[in-house]
Chain A
Amino acid sequence: MTEAVLYDAAGPRGRRRILIGSLAGGLLVVLVVGVAVARLAANGVFEAERWRVLTQGDLQRLLGRGLAATLRAALVAMVLAMAVGGLLAVARLSRGRWLAMPAGAWVELFRGLPLLLLILFLFLGLPAVGVTVSTFWALVAGLTLYNSAVIGEIFRAGILSLPKGQTEAAYSIGLRRGQSLRLILIPQAVRRMLPALISQAVTLLKDTSLGFVIAYAELLRTGRNAVEFLGGRYSIPVYVAIAVLYIAVNASLSFLARWLDGRTRRRLGRTVQPSVADEAA
């Protein structure tokens, strides 16, 4: 349903009302922001000396290293989660119960456990059974387990959303089930689900910050330690800088998602709904 169906195009009076409403609303926002800024300024939040800390080369390099560590963990986990997720989707769609059942259980279990605890278990539990695991790989493994469950469901939804004719056409030219999945269905499902996958990548990237619990030095933890070093009065500038970095990286990913969405829509002529609700974790 397009949004325009919800209301008539405004007439002259309606347009005037909207304009007045917008101006009044805008004024209210400006007023609230103004009061907030004035209060913050009165409390010394905007003192130049506090913000100058961000110009320090050392701090910039430190945050840069933190960002690199965040991106590294996110990238590796995303690739692995895609691979495992793909296998899970195929397994859940297979006709053999002995494949579909364990895959279903995998999804339910890893989707329901808090990621923080999952990371902790891998980090503390694996060595107990004789597998040594570094901080990096414990974090990546935790992110992979959780996101493979979510991504597997995205793939499955994508494959199920394809018209039945695709499978039938594949069978009719003599492809076996595995071949039709690999050659016909999965490539289409991936393209169709790209926006949802990229949204999940945003979530995954933010979730790397849970590495703090096992002391993985990603962006947020690095920044937090820098605040301990610099002193609490610099916490607001440092955290604002970190927020800007996260928003910049994630917004460019979201932008990519929208652009791909638009492209797919033009090419395929139909809407692809990213499953936004899955992103919150």
Chain B
Amino acid sequence: MRIGRWMRLAGTVLVLTLAAAACGGDDEGGDGGQVNEGASFAEGTTMARLQQEGAVTIGTKFDQPLFGLKNLEGKPEGFDVEIGKLIAGELGIAEDKITWVESVSANREPFIQQDKVDFVVATYTINDKRKEVVDFAGPYYEAGQDIMVAKGNPEGIGGPDDLAGKKVCSVTGSTPAENIRTNYPDADLTEFDVYSKCAEALKNGQVQAVTTDNVILLGLISQDEESFELVGEPFTKEPYGIGVKKGDTEFRNFINDTLQKAYDDGRWLAAWDATAGKVAPEKPTPPTIDRY
């Protein structure tokens, strides 16, 4: 009967479809780092739960050179990723038990609130608005907004005040873009979704400057030293924090303690040297942790 054939076909397609849906998912993992096997935590805390599960989910950027960037094997790398591994290690969780989740503006806070990630390390600037929704450990790094121009600085831009009337590029909705919008309204702000597009636009002469945190600009320059240069001094302070669920003070304190430990025993600096330190001219000093 014809309908029988149709139904069989539909059934086959459905089964194949479900199979296709089931076998998805990227496998993340690493080769193991420093793992604190003997850690013990008080009952009922987030730390105890994660240690028990032996696995952790961390939100980070996948498209941010030097901080959180997926390499061609599909593993994220960068300073944020190293900090994430460091915290996981203190919980007794090895690198290959970490699930990395891409953090974009639409999912960053919701994922923390819904426990889809245990914490977020994603060039995440601490500010009061965000503190209403999530809590921040750290800061673990303090960046500052700076300006990148074409090699030789043909427009003679020395600082943010020289941006008036110039086309300046940054990423849509990012903190540096908002800063330009509010504090330097005479600058002609152009926004893209990623910094590499800003760099291309600068190279093509479609914009005259790119502005964001200095370390991110250094990453762009390292990819094309013949075309770009940095001007002036950083003109803002951008403390990067680690986002955790609002009200989970014990977990926040634990991360703060872990950061302090890493500051003291040199692991923080080692993480820096292995990632962003490759292009940054000077070694940073660890920022003071804000235990609010």
B21 interface neighbour in A62, A72, A233, Cβ under 8 Å: A72
What's the Cα separation between A80 and B195 when bound, in Å?
Answer: 37
The verdict on B89 contacting chain A, using a C-beta distance below 8 Å, is no
B72 interface neighbour in A80, A215, A226, Cβ under 8 Å: A226
A136 interface neighbour in B2, B24, B114, B197, Cβ under 8 Å: B24
Please, what's the 1-or-0 string for A131-173, where 1 marks a CB less than 8 Å from any CB in chain B?
0100010001000000000000000000000000000000000
Please, what's the 1-or-0 string for B1-30, where 1 marks a CB less than 8 Å from any CB in chain A?
011001000000110111011001010000
By the criterion CB–CB under 8 Å, are A224 and B2 in contact? no
By the criterion CB–CB under 8 Å, are B102 and A224 in contact? no
Q: Which residue of B lies closest to A138 (CB)?
A: B107
- Specify which chain B residues have a CB less than 8 angstroms from the CB of A56 in the assembled complex: 72
Q: Which residue of A lies closest to B204 (CB)?
A: A43
By the criterion CB–CB under 8 Å, are A187 and B3 in contact? yes
By the criterion CB–CB under 8 Å, are A228 and B64 in contact? yes
By the criterion CB–CB under 8 Å, are B24 and A72 in contact? yes
The verdict on A15 contacting chain B, using a C-beta distance below 8 Å, is no
> Min CB distance, B122 to chain A, in Å?
11
Q: Which residue of A lies closest to B25 (CB)?
A: A136
What's the Cα separation between A227 and B14 when bound, in Å?
Answer: 36
By the criterion CB–CB under 8 Å, are A235 and B196 in contact? yes
By the criterion CB–CB under 8 Å, are B196 and A231 in contact? yes
What's the Cα separation between A239 and B160 when bound, in Å?
Answer: 33
The SS class assigned to the A binding surface is helix
Please, what's the 1-or-0 string for A74-106, where 1 marks a CB less than 8 Å from any CB in chain B?
011001100000000000000000000000000
A225 with B62, Cβ < 8 A, contacts A58-B72, A231-B223 known: yes
Q: How large is the interface on A (under 10, 10 to 19, 20 to 34, 35 or more residues)?
A: 35 or more
A225 with B24, Cβ < 8 A, contacts A214-B106, A215-B102 known: no
What's the Cα separation between A76 and B23 when bound, in Å?
Answer: 12
The verdict on B69 contacting chain A, using a C-beta distance below 8 Å, is yes
The verdict on B194 contacting chain A, using a C-beta distance below 8 Å, is yes
The verdict on B110 contacting chain A, using a C-beta distance below 8 Å, is yes
Scoring B101, B102, B199, B203 by chain A CB atoms within 10 A of each residue's CB, the highest score goes to B102
The verdict on B224 contacting chain A, using a C-beta distance below 8 Å, is yes
By the criterion CB–CB under 8 Å, are A229 and B72 in contact? yes
By the criterion CB–CB under 8 Å, are B70 and A233 in contact? no
State which of A4-12, A21-29, A119-127, A246-254 sits at the interface with chain B: A119-127
- Specify which chain A residues have a CB less than 8 angstroms from the CB of B203 in the assembled complex: 232
The verdict on B241 contacting chain A, using a C-beta distance below 8 Å, is no
The verdict on A265 contacting chain B, using a C-beta distance below 8 Å, is no
By the criterion CB–CB under 8 Å, are A227 and B196 in contact? yes
- Specify which chain A residues have a CB less than 8 angstroms from the CB of B21 in the assembled complex: 72, 76, 136, 140
Scoring B2, B69, B72 by chain A CB atoms within 10 A of each residue's CB, the highest score goes to B72
By the criterion CB–CB under 8 Å, are A217 and B102 in contact? yes
By the criterion CB–CB under 8 Å, are A132 and B114 in contact? yes
The verdict on B206 contacting chain A, using a C-beta distance below 8 Å, is no
- Specify which chain A residues have a CB less than 8 angstroms from the CB of B2 in the assembled complex: 187
> Min CB distance, B141 to chain A, in Å?
20
By the criterion CB–CB under 8 Å, are B194 and A228 in contact? yes
Q: Which residue of A lies closest to B23 (CB)?
A: A72
A76 with B17, Cβ < 8 A, contacts A65-B74, A123-B106, A225-B63 known: yes
The verdict on B104 contacting chain A, using a C-beta distance below 8 Å, is yes
What's the Cα separation between A187 and B6 when bound, in Å?
Answer: 8
A225 with B69, Cβ < 8 A, contacts A75-B17, A79-B14, A79-B17 known: yes
By the criterion CB–CB under 8 Å, are B104 and A214 in contact? yes
> Min CB distance, A37 to chain B, in Å?
18
What's the Cα separation between A127 and B117 when bound, in Å?
Answer: 14
Residues of A within 8 A of B (CB): 56, 58-59, 61-62, 65, 69, 72, 75-76, 79-80, 120, 123-124, 127, 132, 136, 140, 182-183, 187, 213-215, 217, 224-233, 235
Interface CB pairs A-B, < 8 A, 6: A56-B72, A80-B17, A215-B101, A226-B72, A232-B220, A232-B223
Residues of B within 8 A of A (CB): 2-3, 6, 13-14, 16-18, 20-21, 24, 26, 62-65, 69-74, 101-104, 106-107, 110, 114, 116, 194-197, 199-200, 203, 220, 223-224
